Structure 1
Amino acid sequence: MDYIRITGINDPYFRQMHDLMKSVFPSEEVLEYNLWAEPLNDPGIRVFVAVHEGEVVGATEYRYYEDMKVAMTDFTIIGREGLGIGPFLVKNRTDDIMLLVKAGSGELLGMFAEIYNPYLAQDYSFGGVKAMDPFVRREVLAHLGYRKLDFPYVHPSWHNDGAAVQELDLCFMPFGEGAYDVESIVAGTITNFLERYYEVLPNKPEQWYRMIEKLKVSDPVRLLPL
């Protein structure tokens, strides 16, 4: 299996990846095909596919914000079972991120991820792949070290229509020595990240703005078990 970076919508593997995304995620979580052109040209956005015998069988997107010393896992897709795609993506993604950290600030506080709440997203089939089932994904991410941030989370729809998506939790995985003992992160780290991450979407729901404003006057936000 090969770990191949996608840097443009004309890459022959990009069509396969986008089709895989549409088969796995609900439509409000998938950016339109042509709108990927600009993000894929951004050197800070890392999109990789797992290719097995010429077929895209998995994918992941992530980024590292050197000035904030945090990373974000945008998505992880496992398209087929029995190939070890999950461990393959996690290992290669972690190796790549640590190279970015080493070349930059040299420090990584942790990594954000939006994780489906299985009790709210249980109607999704996620492409019929059991590894993508929200209950399974949540347990896997818990094993990796992700924990839920203790506040009601909402994010703007990637349709950019101003709709609020409320079926996910925002989670964080601390990195470094003593990571397991980290019990909270400062609210400013969360708001700075969210405002940067969603600046690409001009049409945000009012619920999102209220969430941000409430966080800005909050104490450090607790990390809870998934």
Structure 2
Amino acid sequence: MDYVRVTDIADPLFAGLHRLMSEIFPPEEVLAFDLWKEPLEDPGIRVFVAVHEGEVVGATEYRYYADDEIAMTDFTIIGRPGLGIGPFLASRREADLKRLAAEAGGTLQGMFAEIYDPYRSNEHPFGGVKPMDPFVRREVLAHLGYRRLDFEYVHPSWQQDGEAVSGLDLCFLPYAGQSSLPGIFVARFLRTYYGVLEPKPAAWTDMVESLERGGDAALLPL
């Protein structure tokens, strides 16, 4: 299996990636094909696909924020069972992020991720691919060490319609043993990460402002 970076919507691998995203994720989580042009060309956004026998069978997108020494995993897709795609993507991503951190003169302090909470809503079939089942994914990420931040989380829809998307937790993988994160730190990250999406839903703005006014957000078990 090969770990290949995609930087151009004209790359045939991107067509396979976007098709996989559209099959796996609900519509409000998928950016339209043409709107991927600028994100793919952004050197700070890293989109990699797992290629098996010429076919895109998995993918991950992530970013490293050198100033705060943290990362964000935008998504991880396992398109087929029985190929070890999940461990393959996780290990390659971690190695790449640690290399980026070292090149920037720092260390990787942790990684954010949005994780579906199937105990609140289990309405997404995720293309019928069992490794993408939200119960399975949540337990796998818990085993990897992810913990959920203790506040009610929403994010702006990627369809850019101003709707708030719920049913997820904002989680963090603490490489430095953190048991909480400053609310103002989390708010700054969210304002940066979702800066490109407009309009922002009122529920999201209220959430971020509450984080900015509050103290620390505890990291709780998944």
The question of a shared fold, defined as TM-score above 0.5 by the shorter chain, is answered with yes
| 1:87 to 2:78 alignment | no
Residues of 2 paired with 1:15 and 1:62: CA distance?
19
| 1:76 to 2:76 alignment | yes
Per-residue CA deviations over 1:58-88 (Å, capped at 9, x if unaligned) read 0000000111211000000000000000000
| 1:11 to 2:7 alignment | no
Computed over aligned residues only, the root mean square deviation of the Cα atoms, in angstroms, reads 0.8
% identity of equivalent residues: 62
Contact in 2 for aligned 1:6/1:40 (Cα 8 Å): yes
Contact in 1 for aligned 2:3/2:50 (Cα 8 Å): yes
TM-score (norm 1): 0.97
- Pairing partner for 1:198 from 185, 188, 194: 194
Instruction: Give the alignment of 1:21-40 within 5 angstroms.
Output: 21-40=21-40
Instruction: Give the alignment of 1:83-162 within 5 angstroms.
Output: 83-162=83-162
Amino acid at match of 2:190: L
Residues of 2 paired with 1:195 and 1:90: CA distance?
26
- Pairing partner for 1:210 from 202, 206, 211: 206
Residues of 2 paired with 1:28 and 1:171: CA distance?
20
Amino acid at match of 2:164: A
Instruction: Find the residue that maps to 2:49 and give its secondary structure.
Output: strand
Q: How much has 1:91 moved relative to structure 2?
A: 0.5
In structure 2, the residue matched to 1:183 is: 179
Amino acid at match of 2:61: E
Contact in 1 for aligned 2:98/2:107 (Cα 8 Å): no
Superposition misfits of 4+ residues, deviation over 6 angstroms: none
In structure 1, the residue matched to 2:216 is: 220
Amino acid at match of 1:144: L
Contact in 2 for aligned 1:69/1:105 (Cα 8 Å): no
Alignment: residue pair count: 222
Structure 2 portions without partners, runs of 5+: none
Instruction: Find the residue that maps to 1:40 and give its secondary structure.
Output: helix
Instruction: Find the residue that maps to 2:173 and give its secondary structure.
Output: strand
Per-residue CA deviations over 1:23-69 (Å, capped at 9, x if unaligned) read 00000000000000000000000000000000000000000011121
Contact in 2 for aligned 1:68/1:189 (Cα 8 Å): no
Residues of 1 paired with 2:160 and 2:68: CA distance?
26
Instruction: Find the residue that maps to 2:188 and give its secondary structure.
Output: helix
Amino acid at match of 2:22: K
Amino acid at match of 2:18: H
Residues of 1 paired with 2:160 and 2:6: CA distance?
23
Amino acid at match of 2:127: G
Per-residue CA deviations over 1:130-168 (Å, capped at 9, x if unaligned) read 100000000000011100000000100000000000110
Per-residue CA deviations over 1:73-129 (Å, capped at 9, x if unaligned) read 000000000000000000000000001000013122210000001123311110111
Contact in 1 for aligned 2:49/2:60 (Cα 8 Å): yes
TM-score (norm 2): 0.98
